[in-house]
Each structure stands twice: as structure tokens, then as C-alpha cells.
Amino acid sequence: MTDLPLLDHRHYALLLALEDTGTVRDAADRLGLTQSAASHRLAEAERRLGLDLTERRGRRVFLTPAARSLIAAGRPALESLARAERRVMGSARAGKQVVRFGQSPYSRLHWLPAFLDILVRHHPEVDIDLVPRAAVDPLGTLRNGAADLVVVYGPEEPSPDLLWLRLGADPLVAVMAPDHPLATKPYVEAHEIAEERYITYTSRPVSGFEWEQFFRPGGIAPQRVSHLESPEAILDLLRAGYGVSILSRWAVSPEVAAGTLAAVPLGATGISVAWWAVLRKTAERGPAAAVANLLQSTSAEHGVGLNVRKFGDEPGEGSIGDF
């Protein structure tokens, strides 16, 4: 009889997340857990093994040599399980190969149906499953095998395990009700938004986004801030005239086109963020690469996906892998 491990995949996933993030809170966010649940899971793993797996230094959590030894074996095992799951899922879908897809930070997918129509024409053998967890930690879901392809914004984060395919750039805009006093301005300045109730999806500044590019250079910060994790909830409040937010223009394009929201550029020169399709390097010759390449070309050529050409940016050059 084969010896069974004392820990299961949940414990290994937590150790991997702790290694990457360094705090129980951030590891919990990556896995879609509460901090309390992550702490209990870690305690359970230590109890089963009868040894410490972490040590604290200030606010950071570091893995012990024993824990590092475990994840050295656990990482490839989890990747192997994920590949097996994909094969089983693909077989269950009449031979289709499944690409698990995620998007961050916005859960809005108004562009996806048009893209799926194109995907069926170009790759009828490929199907897409959505991974909601990727909205919290897109790169983490790639690394732990929960997603095969994610779309992210901001600066590229080169790493030996991930491939980044540039989709283009999109302007950040101040979003508000059409009758808001700022809605008729050619552009807004940071101090004008700082005087309004500011509604944002994250309580922590994100590299390359509005806190870093728009507020911080002038030493300005909104005084009344509301945090809502749901983009739809943010838009509901904006339509009601409750405040102002800063979002990627493509994320609110349906409401702007319908006239239910107004979008105003940030500053006289505007601010844009880059968008990327990211996948594991081990998947550069497979269905995830095929979807990434098609997303890049359709974003530029057909006006779907991220509508790259609509916003005046050239598509990224080249493609990755073959399928």
C-alpha cells in the first residue's frame, strides 16, 4: 500500500503563498481565504508534522528549512495535479482543451462574449473557464496552477517562470455621474478629485496606477475614501452621484457609450496603463498560448478584447509559441 502524505494540497498551496508573499494576510488574500482560516491551516499542518514550518521576524513570516524542503517537492506535484485536472476536464468536454482564464483587477467581462465568438472560429478545440480568484491575485493563480492565462495591467514584472505578452495601453479616467460638476471639464487635476468622495476598489496603492502616477507627484491624497471590491457596486454609486472614481476607460466603456457615466482624462497629458496577457512559460506551446496570441491580435484588429486600437496604442509585436 502506498504511504499517504500527512499534508494535502491545501497545506502546500498555503506554504507556497507564504513563500511568495511573506505574510499570512497576503497569503490568505492570494488563496481567497480569511486570515484566520489561513492561520488555522498553517497550525494544522504544523500539528500533523509535529514541527514548525514558519518563523516570524517582525511582521514578516519566513519558511523554515523543513518547509522549504516540503515545497521543493510540493510545487511540481501541484503542477502535475493541475495538468491532470485539465486533461480530465478536457476529456469531459468532448475533447476540448480547457484554458482557465482570469482577469485583474476588474471582474467586468463585457468584452468577453465577442472574443469567445472569434475564439470558436479560430480554435474550436479550445474552451475557456473563468477563475474568479484571479481578480484578487492573478499571478498567484498562475503560479499555483489555478489559472492558465490572466490579463493584468501595470508595469511588466519579469520573472523566470512567466511569459508576458503586451496587449496595449488604456487611459485611466475619472469616472462620475454625467451631471457631476467635473463631468464637463476637458481634464481633471488631482486636487479636484481629492475634494470629492473617492471610491476605489483597493485600500492599498497599486504600482503604476493612480496613487503612484496621479496623486503622489503632487503630494495629494483624497480625504474621503470608500473601498468597494466590486466594480459593479462602484458604478452603482457613481451613477447615483455619490462620488468619483478612477478606472481604466475600457472597464466603463459600455456606461460611457450609453451616457449613464462620464469619463474625464487625468491631467492635461493623460495617464495610461499597459495591459498584458500572462501565462506560465511551461505553457508557451499549448492552448493558453493560442488564446493569448488571439487576444492580442483581436484586441488590435477587431475592436474587441481590450479595444487597444480604439485607444490609439499599437499592439504588441510577435507572438508566443505554436499550437
The answer to whether 97 and 125 have CB atoms below 8 angstroms apart is yes
The average confidence (pLDDT) of the chain is 82
Q: Which CATH architecture has domain 9-75?
A: Orthogonal Bundle (1.10)
Least confident of 142-146, 259-263, 301-305: 301-305
State yes or no: pLDDT of 304 exceeds 90.
no
- Asked, colleague to colleague, whether 9-75 and 83-168+274-311 share their fold, the answer is no
Predicted local distance difference test score (pLDDT) of residue 4: 65
- Using pLDDT thresholds of 50, 70 and 90, give the confidence band for residue 106: low
**C-alpha distances in Å from residue 247, one per residue of 63, 126, 140, 153, 282:** 37, 31, 23, 11, 33
Q: How far apart are the C-alpha atoms of 123 and 59, rounded to whole Å?
A: 48
Instruction: Report the C-alpha gap between 155 and 103 in whole angstroms.
Output: 16
* Pair 147, 293: CB distance under 8 Å: no
Looking at residue 84, its pLDDT comes to 65
Superfamily of domain 83-168+274-311 in the CATH hierarchy = Periplasmic binding protein-like II (3.40.190.10)
* pLDDT tens digits, 118-131: 998 999 989 888 88
- Highest mean pLDDT (candidates 23-37, 254-268, 270-284): 254-268
Lowest mean pLDDT among 109-113, 197-201, 278-282: 109-113
Q: Assign a CATH topology to domain 169-272.
A: D-Maltodextrin-Binding Protein; domain 2 (3.40.190)
Q: Note the pTM of the prediction, 2 decimals.
A: 0.63
Q: What is the mean pLDDT of residues 110-114?
A: 81
286-289 LR contacts (CB < 8 Å, sep 24+):
286/97, 286/321, 286/323, 287/97, 287/98, 287/99, 287/123, 287/125, 287/126, 287/148, 287/323, 288/99, 288/148, 288/149, 289/163, 289/319, 289/320, 289/321, 289/322, 289/323
* Residue 135 confidence (pLDDT) above 80: no
pLDDT, residue 1, reads 40
pLDDT surpasses 50 at 51: yes
The string of DSSP letters for 30-99 reads HHT--HHHHHHHHHHHHHHHTS--EEEETTEEEE-HHHHHHHHHHHHHHHHHHHHHHHHHHHHTTTPEEE
Domain boundaries in the chain?
9-75, 83-168+274-311, 169-272
pLDDT at 303: 43
Residues contacting 267, CB < 8 A, separation 6+: 187, 188, 189, 190, 214
Please tell me the predicted confidence (pLDDT) of residue 113. 83
